[in-house]
Structure 1
Amino acid sequence: MTQPASNPPLSNVQLELLKLYATGVSDETLLELKKTMAKFFLDRMRQSADKIWEEKGYTDAQIQEID
């Protein structure tokens, strides 16, 4: 007989979001929160891409050649 898959523990982000949802927020607040999180992760990805760009020594001209 196989064991049922155990659920992994919640991440720190999941725990914090559960705390927030437990208090109840308006749809407007939820939308604002989603936008804030999206901007946060977009900024982090841009920083990571910029770092790689600099490490590789890419130039705008090289990227134009790819297009």
Structure 2
Amino acid sequence: MGTTVFNPVQQHLLTMFAFDGSEERLKEVKAVLFNYFQQKMDQRLNELWDSGILDQKKLDELRTKHLRTDLK
């Protein structure tokens, strides 16, 4: 098995959890990360909507598309 190299974010999280690795802390961190990335996604979607790249017609098209791929 090869060596795993952690990026700076992973290193920071490991250091942080060395002090308090409780289940409660994990839930809090998950919630914070979820909210952060949800805000980023909302911001990007608003930019796409405002620029006209994304509109109701495009959303309706995406609703009927099969986006899953076979990983074989």
TM-score, scaled to structure 2: 0.62
CA RMSD, 1 decimal? 2.5
How far the C-alpha of 1:48 sits from its partner, in A, is 0.6
Aligned partner of 2:33 in structure 1 is 37
| Number of equivalent positions | 62
Counting aligned pairs with the same residue, the percent is: 23
Q: Which runs of 5+ in 1 are unaligned?
A: none
The equivalent position to 2:8 in structure 1, one of 3, 6, 12, is 12
Letter in 2 for 1:28: E
- Higher relative CO (Cα under 8 Å, sequence separation at least 6) belongs to 2
- The higher radius of gyration belongs to 1
Could you list the structure 1 runs, at least 4 aligned residues long, displaced by more than 3 angstroms after superposition: 4-7, 57-60, 62-67
Q: Which runs of 5+ in 2 are unaligned?
A: 64-72
